[in-house]
Amino acid sequence: MNLQQLYAQYLPILRPILRIGPIVGGIVILAWRVRETRVPVTARAIVIPPVAMSTGFFMFLAPMTRVPWSWAVGAFLLGALVLSWPLVRSTRLEPRDGVVYVRRSRAFLAILLALLAVRLLLHDYIGHLVSPLQTAALFYLLAFGMIVRWRSVMYREYRAMTRSR
């Protein structure tokens, strides 16, 4: 039995999981963001998420996940240039008690929910055009582009604050 036959056999079981996964992920990110506003930010805490997420590039070792380069670059740039923008705009750092904290944003929940809705709509649309594994690969690249830009801007802001002390 090949992978596509196996996938077709288990699709009825996987479909609800694939629908709930992004929602659970959004809740986890929201909880993480709330925690992030309560503890001081460090350079390490800013850099580790994109570095840890970069291990996902190993998925491209499997031929079924590969997409054309133009699609990959497009997904990455869409995440980095468009979808990261609300995260960059809503994330501000502030010095308090000699350390740096992420300032809590009232708009963050709305931004997170809007990004989740856009992601679900795009996922359904793209899922009809390419295989589920290629869809996952494209959305990984989109998310990676978002987090790299968002965390890069945070890191530059953090460095500027810590150098001025």
Q: What is the pLDDT of residues 65-110, one digit of tens each?
A: 999 999 999 999 999 999 899 889 988 899 988 899 988 777 877 8
Res. 163 pLDDT band, cuts 50 70 90: confident
Going by C-beta distance under 8 Å and a sequence separation of 6 or more, which residues neighbour residue 74? Answer: none
Residue 131, classed as helix, strand or coil, is: coil
Q: How confident is the model at residue 11 (pLDDT cuts 50, 70, 90)?
A: low
What percent of the chain is predicted at pLDDT more than 90? 41
Burial letters 100-112, b for 16+ CB under 10 A, else e: bbbeebeebeebb
14 pLDDT band (50/70/90 cuts)?
Answer: low
pLDDT, tens digit, 9 for 90 and up, residues 131-153:
878 888 998 999 999 999 999 99
